[in-house]
Chain A
Amino acid sequence: MFVVAMHAPEIAVSVRAGEFVNLGWSPGPLLRRPFSVYRVNGEQIEIVLKAVGEGTSKLLAMTPGDRLSCLGPLGHGFDLKSGPRSVVLISGGLGVAPMPIAAKEAKALGMRVTWVHGARSSVELCSESEGDDVIWATDDGSKGFAGTAVAAAPDADLVLACGPNRMLSAVADRWPEALVAVETYMGCGTGVCLGCAVPLRRGGYDRACKEGPVYRAAEIDWAALPSHLSYAVSR
């Protein structure tokens, strides 16, 4: 996992947990790529990524002083309000992305924060641990609990989750009231292309980039939401 920091003062002062930025860089893919804002550091914001495709490897090859185009903050985030006394953050793989800011906002509202990190193996686990309690879970048992992050998580007044849609679907089964940040293919990020359709249980679709990416888990028709995304451009 890599962290990329960029100077974006207007976004840094206003971004909330679960909101994202849509990044374009050159040479890069045609369409922008959405990234949850991971941390804010003064006038800088940070994102996390894996080097999955040709596009992201170009992004990682950038050096300080290079410029990219950053549109944001976009979307509807976790919307934390005072009330719950405890919160569990469940993150799978790159799903850690929105959690540091969520943890900070939850603590500021007086919640006790438990962060459950899940990944396939210890090498894919993120070391960020901004929680009162931290639980590690790996599918192969190489660190912490041997099994999924969802299975390792305790109950709490509020559950927030981000990770592969398959994991979020398991979260929805156990905590229908959980707030989950879904993953979709995205075109414009601004609500016009209707590419990032999220199927809803009440029927129809709405837009991950506008009404989402955070939803109450019970609102989503999980069977109709693609469970795995591969972002590479076909050649």
Chain B
Amino acid sequence: MSPDLSVAIGELKLRGPVLAASGTFGYGTEVPLLERRSLGGMVSKGIFLRPREGTAPPRIAETPSGMLNAIGLQGPGVDALIRDYAPKWAGWDFPVFVNINGESADEYGELAARLDGVPGVAGLEINISCPNVEQGGLYFGNDPRAAAAVTEAVRKRTRLPVWVKLTPMVSDIGVIARAVEAAGADALCAINTFVGMSIDLNAYKPRLSFRTGGLSGPAIRPLAVHLAHQAARAVRIPVIGIGGIMQAEDALEFLIAGCAAVQVGTATFVNPRAIAEVHDGIAEFLSTKSITSLAELPRYLPRD
């Protein structure tokens, strides 16, 4: 018998612990060769109230075991998302979260209100950690009061589950984690990309037009495991681990380090089947260890 991989994130039940991370899965309609049976859930590309063009190219640069991106949250705006994508999601057999972005706490609140009750939208992931926008983004993520204010603004305007995606660019992630937990978050997602820069030696300038970008991929995994673990120690709400997961063993590191679930991102760019392979690999690991359900996986989580 295959082990039970279902997980509960607050009130929400997921059939598996592996979700598609925001920005790496579009709106769920683009990735080919996808085996949806293994998808625990999906987080949409980040959305603002209004359409955004995104940053000028070059937008990506590969670095050792990683990639830098500065897409700048290109997107059609929330009205188009509600009109074009949410109706499709409503028929899917896994929950879709919308990653929401704003330049002020009010904008986040407004987005929450607009998405509340829209069929197909299962929850919100507050992005207070995007390094590639001029206004908002990271600013909210590295100040506990600002992070809590955004969370509260969203919490007040929706009955949907609210997750908060944290930035690693802080001196103590536990402080931010506790602040957004107190402000009403149902779960935390840790972590978004690290801010990085890479230089083109022939052009004597950064390789990305935005100058800096968000670093993702296996290069950041040990950093991410540590930060997700620190966040999980600091709070009682579930933490969803993110950062450089390419295969099941990587996901298991996050799970054992105290995460309730994981998101897979950059790996999907490389291998459209990555999520299915991670899911199946977790099941295989549990079987090998004679563990019948993911809930029984031993965790390393001393509380702060």
User: Could you tell me the distance in whole angstroms from the C-beta of A199 to the nearest C-beta in chain B?
Assistant: 7
A175-197 vs B, Cβ < 8 Å mask (1 yes, 0 no): 00000000011111011111111
Across the interface, do B62 and A226 meet the contact criterion of CB distance under 8 Å? no
Among B24, B62, B63, B218, point to the contact of A192 (Cβ < 8 A): B24
- Size of interface on A: residues with Cβ below 8 Å to B: 33
Q: How many residues of B contact A (CB 8 A)?
A: 40
What is the bound-complex CA distance between A230 and B203, given in angstroms? 10
B211, CB-defined interface residue at 8 Å: no
- Contact status B30-A30, CB under 8 Å: no
| Smallest beta-carbon distance B50→chain A, Å | 13
Q: Complex formed: what's the CA distance from A17 to B271 in Å? A: 25
In the complex, identify which listed stretch (B64-72, B98-106, B169-177, B284-292) lies at the interface while the others stay far away.
B64-72
Is B272 a contact of A191 with CB atoms below 8 Å?
no
| Chain A 54-75: CB-based contact to B (< 8 A → 1; otherwise 0) | 0000000000000001010000
Given contacts A71-B272, A190-B31, A191-B26, contact A197 B65 (CB under 8 A): no
B52-66 CB mask vs A (1 if < 8 Å, else 0) is 011111111111111
Closest to B53 in A: A204
Q: Are A194 and B30 in contact (CB under 8 A)?
A: no
Tell me if B136 counts as interface (CB < 8 A to partner A): no
The contact string, 1 if C-beta is below 8 Å from chain B, for chain A 211-235, is 0000000000000111001100111
CB distance from A44 to the nearest CB of B (A): 22
Pair A193/B202 contact, Cβ less than 8 Å: no
A83 within 8 A of B: no
Q: Is the interface of B mostly helix, strand, loop or mixed?
A: loop
Most buried by B among A29, A195, A198: A195
**B247-280 at interface with A (beta carbon < 8 Å):** 266, 268-272
Interface centre among B32, B199, B270 (most CB of A within 10 A): B270
Pair B59/A185 contact, Cβ less than 8 Å: yes
CA distance A102 to B116 in the complex (A): 51
Chain A, 10-60, CB within 8 A of any chain B CB: 24, 29-32
Indicate if the CB atoms of B270 and A193 lie closer than 8 Å.
no
Instruction: Give 18 pairs: A residue, B residue, CB < 8 Å, sorted on A.
Output: A24-B270, A30-B217, A30-B218, A30-B270, A31-B269, A185-B61, A190-B31, A190-B272, A191-B26, A191-B30, A192-B26, A192-B269, A195-B71, A196-B57, A197-B54, A205-B57, A225-B57, A234-B199
Top 10 nearest A-B pairs (CB, nearest first) are: A195-B60, A188-B269, A192-B26, A191-B30, A197-B57, A194-B71, A192-B30, A233-B62, A234-B198, A195-B59
